């Protein structure tokens, strides 16, 4: 029965020796050892690990688009119907043809109504 009470005491002393060595290695207490007893879990709200370097937030580059110029349509009026001169044409039988293509007509000019050529 006595061994049950001695075992935790010995274990506690061994742990206190190792905790002093652990602090001395990193320079925590500058090599001084101490004895302490902690019971329970540490009270941290949540594990928070911060990046030691700050990376600024970069906004994406602004995209600038130039609108395309709209196409320009030029509406042309339909060609006007060909106007024939009002009046008469002059036809020659010998040589056959119309004035001004035939300059002289020995038998005289025959006056005719203008007739447009038939569409092709």
Place of tokens 């203008």: 114
Residue 15's alpha-carbon distances to 9, 10, 18, in angstroms, are 10, 9, 5
Asked if 23 and 29 touch (Cβ cutoff 8 Å), the reply is yes
C-beta contacts of 38-45 below 8 A and 24+ residues apart = none
Residue 71: pLDDT band (50, 70, 90) is very high
Three-state secondary-structure class, residue 23: helix
Q: What's the predicted TM-score (pTM) here? A: 0.26
Range picked from 17-21, 36-40, 41-45, 73-77 for highest mean pLDDT: 73-77
Q: Determine the Cα–Cα distance for residues 11 and 22; give it in Å rounded to an integer.
A: 17
Helix (H, G, I), strand (E, B) or coil at 112: strand
pLDDT at residue 29 is higher than 60: no
Residue 76's pLDDT band, with cuts at 50, 70 and 90, is: confident
- Which pLDDT score, from 0 to 100, does residue 20 have? 52
Closest listed residue to residue 115, CA positions, set 80, 92, 84: 84
Task: Count other Cβ atoms within 10 Å, centred on residue 109.
Answer: 16
Q: Is the model more confident about 64 or about 27? A: 64
Burial class for 33, CB neighbours closer than 10 Å (0-12, 13-18, 19+): middle
């Amino acid at each position: 029965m006595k061994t049950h009470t001695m075992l935790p005491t010995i274990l506690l002393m061994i742990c206190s020796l190792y905790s002093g060595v652990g602090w001395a290695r990193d320079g925590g207490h500058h090599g001084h050892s101490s004895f302490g007893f902690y019971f329970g879990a540490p009270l941290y709200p949540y594990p928070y690990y911060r990046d030691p370097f700050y990376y600024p937030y970069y906004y994406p580059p602004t995209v600038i688009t130039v609108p395309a110029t709209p196409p320009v349509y030029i509406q042309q009026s339909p060609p006007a119907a060909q106007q024939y001169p009002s009046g008469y044409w002059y036809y020659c039988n010998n040589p056959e043809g119309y004035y001004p293509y035939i300059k002289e007509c020995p038998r005289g000019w025959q006056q005719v109504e203008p007739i447009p050529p038939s569409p092709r």
